[in-house]
Amino acid sequence: MPADAHTHDAVYDLIIVGGGMVGASLAIALSGRGMRIAVIEAHLPGADTQPTYDDRGIALAYGTQRIFEALGVWSDIAQVAEPIREIHVSDRGHFGATRLRADEEGVPALGQVVTARALGGVLVRRVVDDPALDVIAPATVTDFVDEGGQVRVGIERGGVVDTLRCRLLVAADGGDSAIRASLDVPVVQWQYGQSAIVTNITPARPHHNVAYERFTDAGPVALLPMSEGRCAVVWTVRDEQRDDVLALDDTAFIDAFQRRFGFRLGRFQCVGRRAAYPLTLLRARESVRGRIAIIGNAAHTLHPIAGQGFNLGIRDVAALAEVVSDAHARGGDVGATGVLERYAQWRQAEQRNVSLATDGLVRLFTNPLGVVRLGRNLGLLAMELLPPARHVLARAAMGMLGRQPRLSRGVPLD
Ligand SMILES: Cc1cc2nc3c(=O)[nH]c(=O)nc-3n(C[C@H](O)[C@H](O)[C@H](O)COP(=O)(O)OP(=O)(O)OC[C@H]3O[C@@H](n4cnc5c(N)ncnc54)[C@H](O)[C@@H]3O)c2cc1C
């Protein structure tokens, strides 16, 4: 062991690796229940350089809002969020379209849009200000060993090597999870050959809190209502077009996007900075191994078009927080096999279904074959004409299908 290495004798109940949206939410959910919890994050909290908390617009489903309400952070998030009262799904240039409306579902909003940066600001502040949480940052996990009764975790902080121990190690370390990789957890993964160009744009007409999901043969486009009349743009382009689109100046970008989206909101006036994200789908075949749980993007990374990635991740948080806090309240071991198996079984079906549905949607709507196009238009039309089918779609979009954890029902953990 090097001279500048330290070892802590105390054993944490939980070590959460990753202070992204998912890791931070889990820390908030489990704080104050008498557990020793550490959050290890590679970036300095609140630093502008933290790539997770950038300017992308995140659509939070109604179910996610309910969870944040139960965690006591919603009032802060609401200050920086814009409600979605209607979702308009259409196939550009064809007849099919369907609308999902908040009033038809009996909810004030189908979801809320917030920038990742603003959401991160609320969550990270809550974590950092909480004296019950040990935030170790900037620090990276370099290695770990599941020793049976506990996990030994090696970290590196400012050139100093340290060793921590815990009963349960939670990998919330994102899509490129080093923990998942070093466990050799098998994954289902493919690249779409597409990138999402993300920015915000101001249309001439007010958005009236309508979100648009528009499928085009060249890939899907989403426009989400934001504050000050702006809209968040997620424009999917083929990888070979990405650099050309990023190189466009503001005027040329607006023209190109206008051709893709059409004039439903009038002429677009001004546009913000653009960023590109390569699109992949990844689903880990196991979400627990020994005393280690894998959650959020580390367990499943989705195409952003359906706006489901974080919404799925926060339901992992609600379910894991429930099984862990129940085990702790009974005086049990929070990292015991039975506890983690309960979590894995609970989440398995939904993680698989949402991942398959998002992928199916992307493939269905990017298929230019006439017969497929006709089918999807009839499908959208049928949705419009059949309220029960639309209701099921709306409940899915709101993240309210399947068995709901207590936090999703607005019920506190104890
Ligand atoms: C363009 C785009 C649009 C999207 N839109 C939506 C949307 O509308 N709705 C929605 O629900 N989702 C959306 N998503 C998905 C959403 O952004 C992700 O699901 C979410 O950010 C995942 O959070 P996470 O905490 O699991 O992972 P991450 O955000 O990747 O966080 C992982 C964290 O772990 C840290 N870390 C990694 N390795 C280590 C280590 N070894 N040691 C210490 N720390 C480490 C990283 O620094 C990072 O902070 C979108 C994604 C994209 C790309």
Non-local CB neighbours of 187 within 8 Å, separated by 6+ positions: 180, 282, 283, 284, 285
Say if ligand 1 is within 6 A of residue 304 CB. Answer: yes
Atom 9 of ligand 1, nearest CA residue = 307
Q: Is residue 39 within 8 Å of residue 19, measured between CB atoms? A: yes
Token couple for 55? 């300017």
Say if ligand 1 is within 6 A of residue 58 CB. Answer: yes
Atom 15 of ligand 1, nearest CA residue = 309
Say if ligand 1 is within 6 A of residue 21 CB. Answer: yes
- Determine, yes or no, domain membership for 404: no
- Determine, yes or no, domain membership for 322: yes
Domain range for 42: 6-81+113-188+283-366
CA of 301 to the centre of ligand 1 (A): 9
- Determine, yes or no, domain membership for 338: yes
Report the 10 Å Cβ neighbour count for 260: 17
Say if ligand 1 is within 6 A of residue 56 CB. Answer: yes
- Determine, yes or no, domain membership for 150: yes
Question: Residue 28: which CATH number?
Answer: 3.50.50.60
SS3 content of the chain, % helix, strand, coil (to 5): 40, 30, 30
Report the 10 Å Cβ neighbour count for 236: 24
- Determine, yes or no, domain membership for 302: yes
Say if ligand 1 is within 6 A of residue 65 CB. Answer: no
- Determine, yes or no, domain membership for 272: no
Instruction: Report the pLDDT value the prediction gives residue 288, as an integer from 0 to 100.
Output: 97
What are phi and psi for residue 85, nearest 5 degrees? -100, -15
Token couple for 259? 């051709």
Q: What is the Cα Rg of the chain in Å?
A: 22
Exposure b/e, 60-96, CB count within 10 A at least 16 = b: bbbbbbbbbebbebbebbbebbbbbbbbbbbbbebeb
Instruction: Report the pLDDT value the prediction gives residue 395, as an integer from 0 to 100.
Output: 64
Per-10-residue mean pLDDT, the chain, length 414: 51 97 98 97 87 88 91 96 89 66 85 93 97 96 95 95 97 97 94 88 96 79 91 91 96 94 93 91 94 97 80 94 97 97 90 72 54 49 51 61 75 74
C-alpha–C-alpha distance, residues 257 and 275, integer Å: 14
Say if ligand 1 is within 6 A of residue 73 CB. Answer: no
Residue ranges with strand state E in 92-229: 97-101, 111-115, 133-136, 140-146, 151-157, 160-171, 187-203, 210-216, 219-225
What are phi and psi for residue 169, nearest 5 degrees? -105, 125
- Determine, yes or no, domain membership for 231: no
Task: Give the chain's domain count.
Answer: 1
- Determine, yes or no, domain membership for 147: yes
Q: Is residue 299 within 8 Å of residue 316, measured between CB atoms? A: yes
Atom of ligand 1 nearest to the CA of 113: 8
What are phi and psi for residue 386, nearest 5 degrees? -110, 95
User: Could you tell me the CA-to-CA distances from 255 to 48, 112, 133, 192 in Å, in that order?
Assistant: 30, 28, 49, 25
Non-local CB neighbours of 296 within 8 Å, separated by 6+ positions: 18, 20, 21, 22, 23, 172, 174, 310, 313, 316, 317
C-alpha–C-alpha distance, residues 142 and 403, integer Å: 36
Instruction: Report the pLDDT value the prediction gives residue 70, as an integer from 0 to 100.
Output: 95
Atom 27 of ligand 1, nearest CA residue = 174
Measure the N-to-C terminal CA separation of the chain; round to a whole number of Å: 43
Say if ligand 1 is within 6 A of residue 42 CB. Answer: yes
